[in-house]
Amino acid sequence: MATHESHHVEKHFTAGEFVRDVVIGMSDGLTVPFALAAGLSGAAAPSSIVVTAGLAEVAAGSIAMGLGGYLAAKSDADHYWSERKREEKEIEDVPDTEAAEVAEILENFGLQPEEYWPVVNALRKRPDAWVDFMMRFELGLEKPDPGRALQSALTIAGAYIVGGIIPLFPYIVIPQALEALKISVGVTLVALLVFGFVKGLFTGTKPLASAIQTAVIGAVASAAAFGIARAINN
């Protein structure tokens, strides 16, 4: 009798770092220029001033955010390689101590001595694999992608620019700032809701809750900027 074996395909989300960078850039890009535009509108600035100041902020903000992402990723990479050198030296200087640490790690996974000691001895014959094991399971560090820092910088900066253009676009096409503000509020809140919902899908949180939270943060920031500008202008 023929049997049919079904193949189980596991689906895991593997683009976590990229999504994190998009979230960082897009969330700030939507919120900060939106608040700036609302504040300038509250101060009775014309749309041309809002657009000029907004685009300048988007340019400066994207550079600053991108540079921050680059430095953060570079710092993570430097930390990894520093810790790896330390592990390599410890394996060379105190191999028995390091072997005992491997045994302890495996024991914490429920393995018995007769099960984990062959693994320990096998790793001792493979120094590079031994170091890889210690980096991952003792220190919880993954080998960084060599191009990660630049990719992070470009992703965050690009997402910031895309997010920042959305609340400014109505001011580009509508000369009256207060009229443009009304459209900007509607467009940006929709964008924040959509962005928050998609972010929730990718990060595993409740999409609806993520959408509402993201929109509320943007609304509060813009309302505060508008109110403060109005109060100072009056």
Domain boundaries, the chain: 16-233
Q: Residue 12: what pLDDT?
A: 45
Closest CA to 170 of 187, 157, 156, 154: 187
Q: Residue 1: what pLDDT?
A: 46
Q: Residue 55: what pLDDT?
A: 92
Q: Residue 233: what pLDDT?
A: 64
Q: What are the CA-CA distances from residue 109 to residues 10, 99, 106 (Å)? A: 22, 16, 5
Lookup: tokens for 138: 């003792």
Q: Residue 41: what pLDDT?
A: 82
Lookup: tokens for 14: 């593997």
* DSSP state, residue 205: S
Q: What are the CA-CA distances from residue 27 to residues 7, 143, 212 (Å)? A: 39, 28, 13
Q: What are the CA-CA distances from residue 53 to residues 167, 173, 212 (Å)? A: 13, 16, 28
* Rounded average pLDDT per 10-residue block, the chain, 234 residues: 48 63 84 83 83 92 92 89 88 83 82 80 84 84 83 92 91 88 87 84 79 82 74 68
Using CA atoms, how far apart are residues 108 and 106, in angstroms rounded to an integer?
5
pTM of the model: 0.74
Closest CA to 102 of 68, 139, 67: 139
Give residue for tokens 């903000």: 61
Q: Residue 13: what pLDDT?
A: 45
